Amino acid sequence: MNGTPANDGPADGGPADDGPVDGGPADDGPVDGGPVDGGPVTGTLHHVEIWVPDLPRAVAGWQWLLTALGYTEFQNWSEGRSWRLGDTYLVMEQSPALSADRHDRCRPGLNHLAFHVQGRARLDALVEQAPAHGWTLMFADRHPYAGGEQHYAAYLEDRDGFEVELVASGQS
């Protein structure tokens, strides 16, 4: 990230010395990827950082969605905001180094983020509420099976072109 949050947020000013990067073991922890001393499971995401062209606009949509999914606000500084769920957090940052004013999910790079949603009824409620928070339902003609007959999901796009997939887990 560019800049340092006022509340001692992530320090992504350069690569961390977190162990070998040659594909070898990062530590002497369990080979099954389990937590070392109760910490996060090896291989789980630490954080995802998304650069946005308009932070207040992004926060309006993402705050609603992430809060509805169980995330809580984690960090807040002039150029960014983050939300945390468990050991993983998601960052929105308006960086001065941004080279475009809209995300294009069809170009090389991130296509979308997919989130679990407990039950079809909860997913349907989120889809119904989404437009009021700046999200548009994608593939509406095939919703909720745009991903296939056995895949109950919703695909939403925000005002800046970022796509999320909400996947129903279990039954409602």
Q: Where are the domains of the chain?
A: 47-169
CA dist 6 and 75 (Å) reads: 9
* Beta strand 47-51 pairing with 136-137: unpaired
* Average pLDDT value over all residues in the chain: 83
Q: What is the mean pLDDT of residues 96-120?
A: 85
Output the pLDDT for position 32.
Answer: 59
Domain at 47-169, CATH from 3.40.50.800, 3.30.56.10, 3.30.460.10, 3.10.180.10: 3.10.180.10
**47 vs 5, higher pLDDT:** 47
pTM, two decimal places: 0.75
**33 vs 59, higher pLDDT:** 59
pLDDT digits (tens, 9 = 90+) for 3-44: 433 344 444 443 344 444 445 445 555 555 555 677 888 888
Residue 160: pLDDT above 70?
Answer: yes
